[in-house]
Structure 1
Amino acid sequence: LDLATVPVAAAVRTNYTLTEPDGTTTKLNEPGTPLDDDTRATLAAVLHQHADGARWVALSGSLPPGTPVDWYGTLVASLRNTGAGVAVDTSEAPLLALLAAGPEAAPDLLKPNTEELAQLAGVSEEEILGDPAVALAAVRTLHDRGVAEVLLTLGGDGAVLSTADGGLWSALPPRITVRSTVGAGDSSLAGYLLAHLAGAPPAERLRTAVAYGSAAASM
Protein backbone atom coordinates (compact mmCIF):
# COMPACT_ATOMS: atom_id res chain seq x y z
CA LEU A 1 0.00 0.00 0.00
CA ASP A 2 1.19 3.52 -0.74
CA LEU A 3 1.99 5.46 2.42
CA ALA A 4 2.52 9.16 3.07
CA THR A 5 3.93 10.20 6.43
CA VAL A 6 4.04 13.49 8.31
CA PRO A 7 6.85 13.75 10.92
CA VAL A 8 5.83 14.88 14.40
CA ALA A 9 7.94 16.30 17.21
CA ALA A 10 7.17 13.58 19.76
CA ALA A 11 6.55 9.85 19.79
CA VAL A 12 3.22 8.62 18.49
CA ARG A 13 0.94 6.94 21.01
CA THR A 14 0.74 3.21 21.63
CA ASN A 15 -2.55 1.38 22.11
CA TYR A 16 -2.77 -2.05 23.73
CA THR A 17 -5.62 -4.52 23.35
CA LEU A 18 -5.95 -7.51 25.68
CA THR A 19 -8.26 -10.25 24.42
CA GLU A 20 -9.29 -13.12 26.70
CA PRO A 21 -10.38 -16.58 25.49
CA ASP A 22 -14.04 -15.79 26.20
CA GLY A 23 -13.89 -12.75 23.92
CA THR A 24 -13.60 -10.14 26.69
CA THR A 25 -11.57 -7.24 25.36
CA THR A 26 -9.70 -4.63 27.38
CA LYS A 27 -8.25 -1.60 25.60
CA LEU A 28 -5.44 0.54 27.01
CA ASN A 29 -5.09 3.65 24.89
CA GLU A 30 -2.30 6.10 25.65
CA PRO A 31 -3.00 9.80 25.19
CA GLY A 32 -1.91 11.16 21.86
CA THR A 33 0.68 13.86 21.24
CA PRO A 34 -0.64 17.39 20.65
CA LEU A 35 -0.09 18.67 17.11
CA ASP A 36 0.94 22.28 16.62
CA ASP A 37 -0.65 24.47 13.96
CA ASP A 38 2.19 23.94 11.48
CA THR A 39 2.00 20.14 11.76
CA ARG A 40 -1.77 20.17 11.33
CA ALA A 41 -1.40 22.39 8.27
CA THR A 42 1.18 20.00 6.80
CA LEU A 43 -1.06 17.02 7.49
CA ALA A 44 -4.00 18.75 5.79
CA ALA A 45 -1.84 19.64 2.79
CA VAL A 46 -0.65 16.04 2.38
CA LEU A 47 -4.23 14.82 2.69
CA HIS A 48 -5.46 17.19 0.00
CA GLN A 49 -2.57 16.28 -2.28
CA HIS A 50 -3.53 12.61 -2.17
CA ALA A 51 -7.27 13.30 -2.26
CA ASP A 52 -7.01 14.92 -5.69
CA GLY A 53 -8.05 12.20 -8.10
CA ALA A 54 -9.13 9.83 -5.33
CA ARG A 55 -12.68 8.55 -5.09
CA TRP A 56 -12.91 8.35 -1.30
CA VAL A 57 -11.22 9.89 1.72
CA ALA A 58 -11.83 8.34 5.15
CA LEU A 59 -11.41 10.46 8.28
CA SER A 60 -11.40 8.10 11.24
CA GLY A 61 -10.78 8.07 14.96
CA SER A 62 -10.32 10.60 17.71
CA LEU A 63 -8.40 13.85 17.32
CA PRO A 64 -5.01 14.59 18.93
CA PRO A 65 -5.13 16.57 22.19
CA GLY A 66 -5.50 20.28 21.60
CA THR A 67 -6.87 19.88 18.07
CA PRO A 68 -9.99 21.99 17.49
CA VAL A 69 -13.03 19.74 17.82
CA ASP A 70 -14.37 21.09 14.52
CA TRP A 71 -11.27 20.07 12.55
CA TYR A 72 -13.03 17.18 10.81
CA GLY A 73 -15.73 19.60 9.67
CA THR A 74 -13.08 21.96 8.34
CA LEU A 75 -11.41 19.12 6.44
CA VAL A 76 -14.69 17.83 4.98
CA ALA A 77 -15.60 21.29 3.69
CA SER A 78 -12.15 21.83 2.17
CA LEU A 79 -12.11 18.38 0.55
CA ARG A 80 -15.17 19.27 -1.54
CA ASN A 81 -12.84 20.82 -4.11
CA THR A 82 -11.04 17.50 -4.67
CA GLY A 83 -14.10 15.68 -5.98
CA ALA A 84 -13.54 12.77 -3.59
CA GLY A 85 -16.30 11.38 -1.43
CA VAL A 86 -15.64 11.81 2.29
CA ALA A 87 -16.43 9.20 4.93
CA VAL A 88 -16.18 10.00 8.64
CA ASP A 89 -16.01 7.59 11.59
CA THR A 90 -15.53 9.42 14.88
CA SER A 91 -17.30 10.02 18.18
CA GLU A 92 -18.00 12.38 21.06
CA ALA A 93 -17.08 16.07 20.66
CA PRO A 94 -15.61 15.81 17.12
CA LEU A 95 -18.75 14.00 15.95
CA LEU A 96 -21.09 16.53 17.52
CA ALA A 97 -19.06 19.42 16.10
CA LEU A 98 -19.08 17.86 12.64
CA LEU A 99 -22.87 17.71 12.49
CA ALA A 100 -23.21 21.18 14.03
CA ALA A 101 -21.04 22.75 11.32
CA GLY A 102 -23.80 22.80 8.70
CA PRO A 103 -24.42 21.11 5.35
CA GLU A 104 -21.12 22.30 3.86
CA ALA A 105 -19.29 20.14 6.41
CA ALA A 106 -21.60 17.12 6.12
CA PRO A 107 -19.73 14.00 4.98
CA ASP A 108 -20.94 11.85 2.11
CA LEU A 109 -20.87 8.84 4.42
CA LEU A 110 -21.12 8.70 8.20
CA LYS A 111 -20.48 5.45 10.08
CA PRO A 112 -21.82 5.65 13.63
CA ASN A 113 -22.42 2.79 15.98
CA THR A 114 -25.44 2.77 18.29
CA GLU A 115 -23.64 4.65 21.06
CA GLU A 116 -22.54 7.39 18.67
CA LEU A 117 -25.98 7.66 17.08
CA ALA A 118 -27.44 8.08 20.55
CA GLN A 119 -24.98 10.91 21.22
CA LEU A 120 -26.11 12.69 18.08
CA ALA A 121 -29.80 12.18 18.80
CA GLY A 122 -29.59 13.16 22.45
CA VAL A 123 -31.13 9.88 23.62
CA SER A 124 -29.82 6.81 25.41
CA GLU A 125 -28.23 3.91 23.58
CA GLU A 126 -30.93 1.70 25.11
CA GLU A 127 -33.59 3.74 23.29
CA ILE A 128 -31.73 3.36 19.99
CA LEU A 129 -31.42 -0.40 20.50
CA GLY A 130 -34.92 -0.90 21.87
CA ASP A 131 -37.01 1.10 19.42
CA PRO A 132 -36.31 1.00 15.67
CA ALA A 133 -38.47 4.12 15.23
CA VAL A 134 -36.13 6.10 17.48
CA ALA A 135 -33.09 4.85 15.57
CA LEU A 136 -34.68 5.62 12.21
CA ALA A 137 -35.67 9.12 13.32
CA ALA A 138 -32.09 9.76 14.43
CA VAL A 139 -30.74 8.57 11.09
CA ARG A 140 -33.18 10.78 9.19
CA THR A 141 -31.95 13.74 11.20
CA LEU A 142 -28.47 13.07 9.82
CA HIS A 143 -29.84 13.12 6.28
CA ASP A 144 -31.60 16.40 7.05
CA ARG A 145 -28.19 17.79 7.99
CA GLY A 146 -26.73 16.85 4.61
CA VAL A 147 -25.28 13.37 5.15
CA ALA A 148 -25.92 11.31 2.00
CA GLU A 149 -25.32 7.80 3.39
CA VAL A 150 -25.41 6.47 6.95
CA LEU A 151 -23.86 3.09 7.74
CA LEU A 152 -25.08 2.21 11.24
CA THR A 153 -23.17 -0.70 12.74
CA LEU A 154 -25.01 -2.78 15.34
CA GLY A 155 -22.29 -5.06 16.67
CA GLY A 156 -23.54 -8.63 16.81
CA ASP A 157 -26.82 -7.59 15.20
CA GLY A 158 -25.24 -6.58 11.89
CA ALA A 159 -25.71 -3.18 10.29
CA VAL A 160 -28.20 -0.85 8.62
CA LEU A 161 -27.63 1.33 5.57
CA SER A 162 -29.76 4.40 4.97
CA THR A 163 -29.51 6.81 2.04
CA ALA A 164 -30.83 10.33 1.70
CA ASP A 165 -33.13 9.33 -1.16
CA GLY A 166 -35.12 7.07 1.16
CA GLY A 167 -33.27 3.79 0.68
CA LEU A 168 -33.06 1.52 3.72
CA TRP A 169 -31.35 -1.88 4.01
CA SER A 170 -30.41 -4.15 6.91
CA ALA A 171 -28.06 -7.12 7.10
CA LEU A 172 -27.50 -9.78 9.74
CA PRO A 173 -24.01 -11.15 10.38
CA PRO A 174 -23.00 -14.78 9.90
CA ARG A 175 -22.61 -16.97 12.96
CA ILE A 176 -19.05 -16.64 14.20
CA THR A 177 -16.98 -17.17 17.31
CA VAL A 178 -16.18 -13.65 18.46
CA ARG A 179 -12.55 -13.38 19.52
CA SER A 180 -12.16 -9.60 19.57
CA THR A 181 -14.37 -6.75 18.44
CA VAL A 182 -11.43 -4.34 18.16
CA GLY A 183 -11.28 -2.98 14.63
CA ALA A 184 -14.57 -4.56 13.56
CA GLY A 185 -16.19 -1.20 12.88
CA ASP A 186 -13.13 0.01 10.98
CA SER A 187 -13.20 -3.17 8.91
CA SER A 188 -16.89 -2.68 8.16
CA LEU A 189 -16.16 0.79 6.81
CA ALA A 190 -13.28 -0.55 4.71
CA GLY A 191 -15.47 -3.27 3.25
CA TYR A 192 -18.22 -0.80 2.46
CA LEU A 193 -15.88 1.59 0.66
CA LEU A 194 -14.20 -1.21 -1.29
CA ALA A 195 -17.61 -2.40 -2.50
CA HIS A 196 -18.51 1.20 -3.34
CA LEU A 197 -15.34 1.52 -5.42
CA ALA A 198 -16.26 -1.68 -7.24
CA GLY A 199 -19.60 -0.18 -8.25
CA ALA A 200 -21.70 -2.48 -6.06
CA PRO A 201 -25.34 -1.54 -5.38
CA PRO A 202 -26.30 -0.46 -1.84
CA ALA A 203 -27.42 -3.91 -0.63
CA GLU A 204 -24.16 -5.48 -1.77
CA ARG A 205 -22.14 -2.68 -0.16
CA LEU A 206 -23.90 -3.38 3.12
CA ARG A 207 -23.36 -7.14 2.84
CA THR A 208 -19.67 -6.56 2.24
CA ALA A 209 -19.44 -4.23 5.23
CA VAL A 210 -21.01 -6.82 7.52
CA ALA A 211 -18.80 -9.59 6.11
CA TYR A 212 -15.63 -7.57 6.73
CA GLY A 213 -16.71 -6.62 10.25
CA SER A 214 -17.58 -10.22 11.07
CA ALA A 215 -14.26 -11.46 9.71
CA ALA A 216 -12.39 -8.98 11.88
CA ALA A 217 -14.34 -9.99 15.00
CA SER A 218 -13.53 -13.67 14.41
CA MET A 219 -9.77 -13.15 14.21
Structure 2
Amino acid sequence: MRVALADDAALFREGVARLLTDAGFEVVAKAGDAAELLARVHADPPDVVVVDIRMPPGFTTEGLDAAREIRETHPEIGVLVLSAHVEPHYALQLLDTNARGAGYLLKDRVTDLAELSDAVRRVAAGGLVIDPGVVATLVGRQRVDDPLKSLSEREREVLAVMAEGRSNQAICERLFLSPKTVEAYVRSVFTKLGLRQGPDDNRRVLAVLAYLRR
Protein backbone atom coordinates (compact mmCIF):
# COMPACT_ATOMS: atom_id res chain seq x y z
CA MET A 1 0.00 0.00 0.00
CA ARG A 2 1.38 3.40 -1.06
CA VAL A 3 1.37 6.24 1.49
CA ALA A 4 2.16 9.96 1.23
CA LEU A 5 3.17 11.69 4.46
CA ALA A 6 3.21 15.39 5.36
CA ASP A 7 4.48 17.06 8.53
CA ASP A 8 6.63 20.16 8.96
CA ALA A 9 8.68 18.58 11.78
CA ALA A 10 11.41 16.61 10.00
CA LEU A 11 12.17 14.28 12.89
CA PHE A 12 8.52 13.38 13.40
CA ARG A 13 8.00 12.96 9.65
CA GLU A 14 10.97 10.65 9.29
CA GLY A 15 9.96 8.73 12.40
CA VAL A 16 6.46 8.07 11.11
CA ALA A 17 7.85 7.16 7.69
CA ARG A 18 10.12 4.59 9.33
CA LEU A 19 7.24 3.14 11.34
CA LEU A 20 5.08 2.84 8.24
CA THR A 21 7.90 1.23 6.27
CA ASP A 22 8.53 -1.27 9.06
CA ALA A 23 4.81 -2.09 9.01
CA GLY A 24 5.00 -2.98 5.33
CA PHE A 25 3.73 0.25 3.74
CA GLU A 26 5.52 1.97 0.86
CA VAL A 27 6.09 5.65 1.69
CA VAL A 28 6.11 7.24 -1.77
CA ALA A 29 6.19 10.91 -0.74
CA LYS A 30 7.31 12.97 2.25
CA ALA A 31 6.35 16.66 2.36
CA GLY A 32 7.09 19.52 4.74
CA ASP A 33 4.07 21.66 3.89
CA ALA A 34 0.58 21.38 2.44
CA ALA A 35 1.45 22.84 -0.96
CA GLU A 36 4.20 20.29 -1.51
CA LEU A 37 1.88 17.50 -0.39
CA LEU A 38 -0.84 18.53 -2.84
CA ALA A 39 1.66 18.74 -5.70
CA ARG A 40 3.02 15.26 -4.94
CA VAL A 41 -0.46 13.76 -4.58
CA HIS A 42 -1.73 15.27 -7.84
CA ALA A 43 1.39 14.10 -9.69
CA ASP A 44 1.32 10.53 -8.35
CA PRO A 45 -1.78 9.68 -6.27
CA PRO A 46 -1.05 7.30 -3.36
CA ASP A 47 -3.52 5.00 -1.63
CA VAL A 48 -3.46 6.96 1.63
CA VAL A 49 -2.34 10.41 2.77
CA VAL A 50 -1.22 11.00 6.37
CA VAL A 51 -1.09 14.73 7.16
CA ASP A 52 -0.67 17.03 10.16
CA ILE A 53 -3.42 19.62 10.75
CA ARG A 54 -1.15 22.60 11.40
CA MET A 55 1.30 23.19 8.56
CA PRO A 56 3.37 26.09 7.17
CA PRO A 57 3.02 28.92 6.44
CA GLY A 58 0.28 29.86 8.90
CA PHE A 59 0.26 26.80 11.16
CA THR A 60 -3.54 26.92 11.44
CA THR A 61 -5.55 24.46 9.32
CA GLU A 62 -3.40 24.10 6.19
CA GLY A 63 -3.16 20.33 6.59
CA LEU A 64 -6.88 19.94 7.22
CA ASP A 65 -7.64 22.12 4.18
CA ALA A 66 -5.31 19.97 2.07
CA ALA A 67 -7.05 16.85 3.33
CA ARG A 68 -10.42 18.23 2.25
CA GLU A 69 -9.07 19.14 -1.19
CA ILE A 70 -7.65 15.66 -1.62
CA ARG A 71 -10.98 14.13 -0.64
CA GLU A 72 -12.72 16.29 -3.25
CA THR A 73 -10.26 15.80 -6.10
CA HIS A 74 -9.20 12.22 -5.34
CA PRO A 75 -12.08 10.55 -3.46
CA GLU A 76 -10.41 7.17 -3.88
CA ILE A 77 -7.52 8.24 -1.61
CA GLY A 78 -7.85 7.57 2.12
CA VAL A 79 -6.95 10.56 4.31
CA LEU A 80 -5.67 10.30 7.89
CA VAL A 81 -5.25 13.64 9.68
CA LEU A 82 -2.92 13.87 12.68
CA SER A 83 -3.27 16.39 15.49
CA ALA A 84 -1.18 17.20 18.54
CA HIS A 85 -4.30 18.04 20.56
CA VAL A 86 -7.87 16.82 21.06
CA GLU A 87 -9.82 19.17 18.80
CA PRO A 88 -13.26 17.65 18.12
CA HIS A 89 -14.38 20.52 15.89
CA TYR A 90 -11.57 19.77 13.44
CA ALA A 91 -12.35 16.06 13.47
CA LEU A 92 -16.00 16.78 12.71
CA GLN A 93 -15.05 19.20 9.92
CA LEU A 94 -13.28 16.34 8.18
CA LEU A 95 -16.45 14.29 8.07
CA ASP A 96 -19.64 15.06 6.19
CA THR A 97 -22.76 13.12 5.26
CA ASN A 98 -20.89 11.30 2.46
CA ALA A 99 -17.66 10.72 4.36
CA ARG A 100 -15.65 7.59 3.73
CA GLY A 101 -11.96 6.83 3.84
CA ALA A 102 -11.16 9.51 6.41
CA GLY A 103 -9.68 9.59 9.89
CA TYR A 104 -8.51 11.84 12.71
CA LEU A 105 -5.83 10.55 15.07
CA LEU A 106 -3.82 12.15 17.85
CA LYS A 107 -0.07 12.23 17.25
CA ASP A 108 0.48 10.42 20.54
CA ARG A 109 -1.15 7.34 18.99
CA VAL A 110 1.38 6.97 16.20
CA THR A 111 3.92 5.53 18.62
CA ASP A 112 1.65 2.48 18.72
CA LEU A 113 2.57 0.81 15.43
CA ALA A 114 -0.41 -1.54 15.53
CA GLU A 115 -2.86 1.33 16.02
CA LEU A 116 -1.24 3.46 13.32
CA SER A 117 -1.19 0.57 10.85
CA ASP A 118 -4.80 -0.29 11.61
CA ALA A 119 -5.89 3.33 11.08
CA VAL A 120 -4.08 3.59 7.73
CA ARG A 121 -5.56 0.33 6.49
CA ARG A 122 -9.06 1.25 7.63
CA VAL A 123 -9.12 4.61 5.84
CA ALA A 124 -7.60 2.95 2.75
CA ALA A 125 -10.53 0.52 2.77
CA GLY A 126 -13.02 3.40 2.95
CA GLY A 127 -13.65 3.28 6.69
CA LEU A 128 -13.82 6.09 9.22
CA VAL A 129 -11.37 6.44 12.11
CA ILE A 130 -11.95 8.78 15.06
CA ASP A 131 -9.44 9.06 17.89
CA PRO A 132 -10.76 7.72 21.22
CA GLY A 133 -9.74 11.00 22.87
CA VAL A 134 -12.07 12.95 20.60
CA VAL A 135 -14.90 10.52 21.23
CA ALA A 136 -14.37 10.70 24.99
CA THR A 137 -14.58 14.50 24.85
CA LEU A 138 -17.81 14.42 22.86
CA VAL A 139 -19.42 11.74 25.01
CA GLY A 140 -18.32 13.42 28.23
CA ARG A 141 -19.68 16.89 27.43
CA GLN A 142 -22.12 18.30 29.95
CA ARG A 143 -25.40 19.23 28.30
CA VAL A 144 -28.73 20.44 29.59
CA ASP A 145 -31.26 17.58 29.64
CA ASP A 146 -28.54 15.28 28.33
CA PRO A 147 -30.18 12.23 26.64
CA LEU A 148 -26.95 10.28 27.17
CA LYS A 149 -27.99 10.02 30.80
CA SER A 150 -30.62 7.52 29.68
CA LEU A 151 -27.87 5.12 28.62
CA SER A 152 -26.44 2.53 30.96
CA GLU A 153 -22.70 2.54 31.62
CA ARG A 154 -22.22 -0.38 29.25
CA GLU A 155 -24.31 1.30 26.54
CA ARG A 156 -22.13 4.40 26.83
CA GLU A 157 -19.05 2.20 26.39
CA VAL A 158 -20.57 0.64 23.28
CA LEU A 159 -21.48 4.09 21.95
CA ALA A 160 -17.94 5.35 22.48
CA VAL A 161 -16.33 2.43 20.63
CA MET A 162 -18.91 2.69 17.84
CA ALA A 163 -18.12 6.39 17.40
CA GLU A 164 -14.44 5.54 16.81
CA GLY A 165 -15.52 3.82 13.61
CA ARG A 166 -15.32 0.29 14.97
CA SER A 167 -17.44 -2.61 13.74
CA ASN A 168 -19.60 -4.79 15.98
CA GLN A 169 -16.87 -7.41 15.90
CA ALA A 170 -14.34 -4.86 17.14
CA ILE A 171 -16.73 -3.85 19.92
CA CYS A 172 -16.96 -7.53 20.91
CA GLU A 173 -13.19 -7.77 21.14
CA ARG A 174 -12.71 -4.46 22.96
CA LEU A 175 -15.44 -5.01 25.58
CA PHE A 176 -15.27 -8.83 25.77
CA LEU A 177 -18.91 -9.27 24.75
CA SER A 178 -20.64 -11.80 22.50
CA PRO A 179 -21.90 -10.72 19.05
CA LYS A 180 -25.54 -11.07 20.08
CA THR A 181 -24.96 -9.00 23.21
CA VAL A 182 -23.29 -6.24 21.20
CA GLU A 183 -26.12 -6.23 18.66
CA ALA A 184 -28.60 -5.83 21.49
CA TYR A 185 -26.64 -2.95 23.02
CA VAL A 186 -26.29 -1.20 19.65
CA ARG A 187 -30.04 -1.47 19.01
CA SER A 188 -30.74 -0.14 22.48
CA VAL A 189 -28.39 2.83 22.01
CA PHE A 190 -29.96 3.78 18.70
CA THR A 191 -33.47 3.41 20.09
CA LYS A 192 -32.81 5.49 23.21
CA LEU A 193 -31.10 8.25 21.21
CA GLY A 194 -33.67 8.22 18.44
CA LEU A 195 -31.13 7.41 15.75
CA ARG A 196 -31.62 5.37 12.62
CA GLN A 197 -29.36 2.39 12.13
CA GLY A 198 -27.24 3.00 9.01
CA PRO A 199 -26.82 0.44 6.21
CA ASP A 200 -23.07 0.23 6.87
CA ASP A 201 -20.48 1.02 9.53
CA ASN A 202 -19.75 4.48 8.12
CA ARG A 203 -23.39 5.56 8.15
CA ARG A 204 -23.62 4.32 11.73
CA VAL A 205 -20.57 6.35 12.78
CA LEU A 206 -21.82 9.47 11.03
CA ALA A 207 -25.20 9.16 12.73
CA VAL A 208 -23.55 8.89 16.13
CA LEU A 209 -21.16 11.80 15.47
CA ALA A 210 -24.02 13.96 14.18
CA TYR A 211 -25.80 13.30 17.45
CA LEU A 212 -22.75 13.92 19.64
CA ARG A 213 -21.87 17.21 17.95
CA ARG A 214 -25.25 18.76 18.88
Normalized against structure 2, the TM-score is what? Answer: 0.38
Normalized against structure 1, the TM-score is what? Answer: 0.37
Structure having the higher helix fraction is 2
